[in-house]
Structure 1
């Protein structure tokens, strides 16, 4: 079976969860699956070894990746040509931002992966979202992969697609090396962007309550990724009396991020919504206790391997963190449960389930458009 992936995730991302997902599918494909990725120019770190492409890099770290950049245009042209040749059994676009392929794929089977429905649920934060394009692509897809049951439910609620065309295939995870950083152990760890539905202020309010407790005055929060603190965030830290308790680590290599998980007293994920919650698996892999919002997909992903709190109640989060910090036995129990839970997420399983979706797409008739 020949699978054609397109360029989009590998063009717009130098590093990131979506392009890492597709690289994992490429690496763990079954022997009877041949994959092609027509990328001519890319700075994506997951393609650097050229195992799946013969592309060239171009000024890594520079911004040449936008929808109207030369890199995007070259790679889209290569994908158009591959689509027109038709030498594939299933087409799997890596993003659905650009509908260029709808006119090229013709009657070939198509599969898409929807990692979350955030752009349609939080339109005020994603004003560029084109609901009509997302709907057209979803209707055209023979099969849709959802990364969690929670995401599948949102897809069926928000898009006019039939349930038999939406299959859950959870992510896998392969632990990598951890680089120990020069950061004293015992901090709380937050990973990712910090605006809107990420609910970062809930964590700050909880931390402000914790540092007033005896023995916790110097408790620190380390924020990885998400960029430098904004002026509004700096003002908020001053307002809460946390200016000396929060450190922003910026963008890190994977081994450096793994090192931060290793040294953390807890990883905290306060978000109101996620499609899967990949950092949970990263924390499990480094035996880092996990404290999660009880919203969205989190209970599905972590099950009993985490503590949970109400994302609208900073005091609830502070209480769970205080409990975790003073109970070494609880931390050990959570890390043991996290290790067991991690065994349920392998890329071999994910690739095999994805292959089953490809087979289903080949056997399904062309979906009929639904009027919206």
Structure 2
């Protein structure tokens, strides 16, 4: 079976979860699966070894006007040519932001992956979201991959597709090698962006309560991967009396992030909504106890390997964190359960289930656009 991926994730991202997902599918393809990635210019780190593409890097350390536009134009043209040649059995676009492929794919099977429905559910944060376009692409897809049952339920609720065309295929995970420790152990760790539905302020309020507890005054929170503190965040920290307790690490490498997980007393994920919760697996892999919001997909992903709290109740989060900080045996129990749960998420399994979706797409009747 010949699978055609496209350029989008590898053009837009130099590094990121979506392009890493497609690289994993490429790496774990079965012997009868042959993949093609038509990319001309890319600075994506997951294609850097050129095992799956014949592309050139394009001024990876420079940013200048017109750089991205040129990459986008050349890569889109390459993907269009591959579509028109028709030498594939299934087309799997790496993103669905650009509908360029709809006029080109003709009657070939289309598979799309939807990682979450955040742009629709939180439209105020994503004002450019085009729901009619998303609906049109979803209608045209022979098969849709959802990364969790929670995401599948949202897809069926929000998009005009039938249940028989939406299949759950969870992510896999390959542990990163941790670099040398750069911080004293015992901090709380937050990973990712901090706006809106991420519910970061709930964590700050909980921390403000925690540092008033005996022996916790010097407790620190380290924030990685979401950029440096904004002026509004600095003001908020001052109001809460947490200026000395919160550290922003900015962008970090995979090895640095793995080291941060390994040295943390707990990883905290207060978000009100996620499609899968990939950082949970990152924490499991580094034997880091996990404390999660009880919302969204989190109980599905972590099951019994985490502590949970009400995302609308900072006091509940503070109570769970205090319990974890004071009970070494509970931390050990959670890390053991996390290691066991991690075994359920392998890229080999993800790829095998994805190949079943490809075969189903070939057998699925051609969708009719409304």
Q: TM over 0.5, yes or no?
A: yes
Counterpart of 2:157? 157
| SS of 2:190 mapped into structure 1 | strand
Which residue of structure 2 aligns with residue 202 of structure 1?
202
Distance in structure 2 (CA, Å) of the matches to 1:149 and 1:6: 26
Q: What is the distance in 1 between the residues matched to 2:147 and 2:155?
A: 11
Which residue matches 1:268? 268
Q: Following the alignment from structure 1 to structure 2, what is the Cα–Cα distance between the partners of residues 62 and 252? A: 19
Instruction: For residue 62 of structure 1, report the CA deviation from its aligned partner.
Output: 4.1
Q: Aligned in 2, Cα 1:247/1:130: closer, same or farther, shift over 3 Å?
A: same
Show CA shifts across 1:89-116 (max 9, x none): 0000000100000000000000000000
C-alpha distance in structure 2 between counterparts of 1:66 and 1:155, whole Å: 36
Q: 1:249/1:316 Cα in 2 relative to 1: closer, same or farther (>3 Å)?
A: same
Residue ranges of structure 2 left out of the alignment (5+ in a row): none
Q: Deviations over 1:102-157 (max 9, x none)?
A: 00000000000000000000000000111111111100000000000000000000
Deviations 1:283-341 (A, max 9, x none): 00000000000000000000000000000000000000000000000000000000000
Q: What residue number does 2:239 align with?
A: 239
- Helix, strand or coil at the partner of 1:105: coil
Shift of 1:64: 6.8
Structure 1 residue aligned with 2:100: 100
- Quote the Cα distance in structure 2 between the aligned partners of 1:202 and 1:66: 40
Give the corresponding residue for 1:26.
26
Q: Does the 8 Å contact 1:66/1:72 carry over to 2?
A: no
Cα separation, 2, equivalents of 1:67 and 1:116: 29
2:120 aligned partner:
120
Paired position in structure 2 for 1:91: 91
How many corresponding residue pairs? 370
User: 1:235, 1:351 → 2: CA distance?
Assistant: 46
Stretch deviating more after TM superposition (68-77 or 11-20): 68-77
Distance 1:61 1:67, change over 3 A: closer
Q: Normalising to structure 2: TM-score of the pair?
A: 0.98
Distance in 1 separating the partners of 2:64 and 2:153: 36
- The root-mean-square deviation of aligned C-alpha atoms, in Å, is 1.2
1:188 pairs with 2:188 = yes
Q: What TM-score, normalized to structure 1?
A: 0.98
In the TM superposition, 1:298-313 aligns within 5 A as: 298-313=298-313
Look up the SS of the partner of 1:69 in the other structure: helix
- Unaligned runs of 5+ residues in structure 1 are none
SS of equivalent residue, structure 1 residue 348: helix
Q: CA deviation at 1:58?
A: 1.3
Give the distance between the partners of 2:64 and 2:80, measured in 1 at CA. 20
CA distance in 2, matches of 1:265, 1:56: 42
